[in-house]
C-alpha cells in the first residue's frame, strides 16, 4: 500500500482506477475510524459499569456487616430472654 501511495504522489495525472482506489481507501479508513470510536465508547461504558459494580459490592458488603451485627444483637437478646424465662420457670416450679 505504501508503494502505491508513493507512486501516486509522483504522478501528475491520476488514472480513474487509481482515483477509485483512493476513494475506497478513504472510505475504508473512515469505517475503521468509526469502528475504533464505537469500540472506545463501548470500553468507556464497560469501565463505568465495572466501577459501579465495585461501588455496589462495597455498599452491599457494608450492609451485610451491619445486618450481621444487628442479627447478633437480636440473638444475644433472645438468648438472654430465654435464660430469664427459664430461670423464672425454674423459680416458679420450686
The three-state secondary structure class of 12 is: coil
- Total count of domains within the chain: 1
Of the candidates 30, 34, 6, 33, the residue with the CA atom closest to the CA atom of residue 18? 6
For the chain, what is the mean pLDDT? 90
Residue numbers of the domain that contains 35: 2-93
In 3-state terms, the chain is what percent helix, strand and coil (to 5)? 95, 0, 5
Q: Which residue has the higher pLDDT, 30 or 12?
A: 30
- Summarize pLDDT for 18-57 with one digit per residue, the tens: 888 888 998 999 999 999 999 999 999 999 999 999 999 9
Query: If pLDDT is split at 50, 70 and 90, which confidence band does 93 have?
Result: low
The three-state secondary structure class of 24 is: helix
The pLDDT, as a whole number, for residue 1 is: 75
Amino acid at each position: 500500500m505504501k508503494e502505491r501511495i508513493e507512486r501516486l504522489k509522483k504522478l501528475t495525472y491520476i488514472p480513474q482506477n487509481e482515483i477509485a482506489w483512493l476513494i475506497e481507501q478513504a472510505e475504508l479508513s473512515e469505517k475503521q475510524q468509526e469502528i475504533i470510536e464505537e469500540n472506545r465508547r463501548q470500553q468507556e461504558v464497560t469501565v463505568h459499569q465495572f466501577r459501579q459494580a465495585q461501588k455496589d459490592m462495597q455498599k452491599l458488603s457494608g450492609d451485610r456487616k451491619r445486618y450481621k451485627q444487628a442479627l447478633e444483637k437480636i440473638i444475644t437478646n433472645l438468648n438472654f430472654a430465654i435464660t430469664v424465662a427459664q430461670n423464672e420457670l425454674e423459680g416458679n416450679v420450686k
